[in-house]
Homo-oligomer: A and B are copies of this chain.
């Protein structure tokens, strides 16, 4: 039958694709985002053109790779976000989940945040499209949760999106800096960020001697 034949072939192709992705994963995690297609092909035991047949170009391969990791991380975050607990606890759990993930696998994290490394067909600026897909997806996801659950008055949807992307950016930048310098424990970082979101910046008193920030 035509359909079963197609299914077999497709299944085989999918399996192969997964194998190639796993090989690519190993190489990228070992050599960084600048890993060459030759290196990836060698790790998979094949040569370049096969990679290109499966993924089109380097961007395609990297997009497939990023999607896998991004999906996994987003699943964890969703779980933390949906846990049955008070709002503050859930915010802290989500922050901690994200920070644990980047702490446990910094290479994956770096790859996801800087996927556009060796793509020379980069002309035309396209500002707005260049941000790491992970950040955008996390932002939209959080925006949806906020919009669904919080009563923010009129403009609720727009406010939720601004906050979603803003909070994700806060988490990302603070996490990036923390991962590099390790100035405090993860728990302290989580607490400090939650405090920031809880308005301690506005509530803090000026220091003696001048107008506060």
Contacts and interface: CB of A to CB of B under 8 A. Distances in A.
Interface of A: 31-34, 81, 84, 86-88, 90-91, 106-107, 109-110, 114, 116-120, 122-125, 127-131, 135-136, 139, 145-146, 148-152, 155, 158-159, 161-163, 165-174, 176-181, 183-184, 188-189, 192-193, 195-208, 210-213
Given A180-B127, A199-B198, A173 B163 contact: no
A62 to B, nearest CB: 14
B199 A202 contact: yes
Copies of this chain per assembly: 2
B170 A212 contact: no
Most buried by B among A34, A107, A127, A213: A213
Given A88-B202, A158-B183, A177 B131 contact: yes
A212 B150 contact: yes
Closest 9 CB pairs of A and B: A128-B180, A199-B199, A169-B173, A170-B170, A106-B127, A162-B192, A166-B174, A166-B170, A149-B213
22 contacts: A32-B122, A81-B213, A87-B202, A87-B211, A87-B212, A88-B202, A114-B114, A127-B179, A128-B179, A131-B173, A136-B177, A148-B207, A150-B201, A151-B205, A152-B200, A163-B196, A165-B174, A166-B192, A169-B176, A172-B173, A173-B173, A197-B199
User: Main SS of chain A's interface residues?
Assistant: helix
Given A149-B207, A150-B204, A173-B168, A162 B128 contact: no
A121 to B, nearest CB: 8
A166 B173 contact: yes
A114 B170 CA distance: 18
Contacts of A193: 162, 166
Contacts of A213: 81, 87, 90-91, 145-146, 148-150
Contact of A151 (B180, B183, B207): B207
A188 B32 contact: no
A163 B86 CA distance: 23
